[in-house]
Chain A
Amino acid sequence: NAGVTQTPKFQVLKTGQSMTLQCAQDMNHNSMYWYRQDPGMGLRLIYYSASEGTTDKGEVPNGYNVSRLNKREFSLRLESAAPSQTSVYFCASSALAGSNEKLFFGSGTQLSVL
């Protein structure tokens, strides 16, 4: 089992460029999440999808859009990248939404916006 797979692992963008971060899980999980991690800030939730067909904003959704393409895949899009979006992005999944469920994380995407 691959678990949670994120692509790409590294990306450099220029300000104003767009890109999509891909995430796929093979555990038949219902819920998926996108976080960003900045030094000293811990993880901050960008968007999540409690189940296929639903998405909700987290703490820091501005500048991002998401698509729950199907049960396996949850993508994060930056329409017009800004230097403030330089960060490490993590995708995660859980069997269900809610506190009884543990999260499984991907290995992250390191994004630099110049």
Chain B
Amino acid sequence: SQQGEEDPQALSIQEGENATMNCSYKTSINNLQWYRQNSGRGLVHLILIRSNEREKHSGRLRVTLDTSKKSSSLLITASRAADTASYFCATDSDDMRFGAGTRLTVKP
């Protein structure tokens, strides 16, 4: 099994700007998931992208997957202060492992 690694570790932007976070992994995958964690809370599932998909949208979220580079990116458009959270990717295995996350701060 393997885990994704997110980068950057921390990102600070102004409200209204776009935020991009990246996830890299080491071996082939079937699926990749992104989660959000608000301070003091459990993780919440955002989106799942399959290995045969290149891009997926959900509201202001856009996820891309490049299996040749073994990487994924999460784009949040028109960010809001409420998007302030940590974001994690998780790659597939029976035991679901997570990276250390990207801490996003959106300043009002």
A residues neighboring B (CB under 8 Å): 4, 33, 35, 40-45, 48, 50, 56, 58-59, 90, 92, 94, 97-100, 102-108
B residues neighboring A (CB under 8 Å): 3, 29-31, 33, 35, 40-45, 48, 88, 90-101
Q: Is the CB of A41 within 8 A of B45?
A: no
Q: Is the CB of A99 within 8 A of B43?
A: no
Chain B residues whose CB sits within 8 angstroms of the CB of A90 once the complex forms: 42-43
Q: Which residue of A lies closest to B50 (CB)?
A: A100
Chain A residues whose CB sits within 8 angstroms of the CB of B100 once the complex forms: 40-42
Q: Is the CB of B91 within 8 A of A43?
A: no
Q: Is the CB of B96 within 8 A of A108?
A: no
Q: Is the CB of B42 within 8 A of A105?
A: yes
Given A42-B101, A43-B98, A45-B97; A103-B92 close (CB under 8 Å): no
Q: Is the CB of B88 within 8 A of A43?
A: yes
> Can you list 9 A-B pairs, Cβ within 8 angstroms, ordered by A?
A33-B96, A42-B88, A43-B88, A48-B94, A48-B96, A98-B94, A100-B92, A103-B43, A106-B42
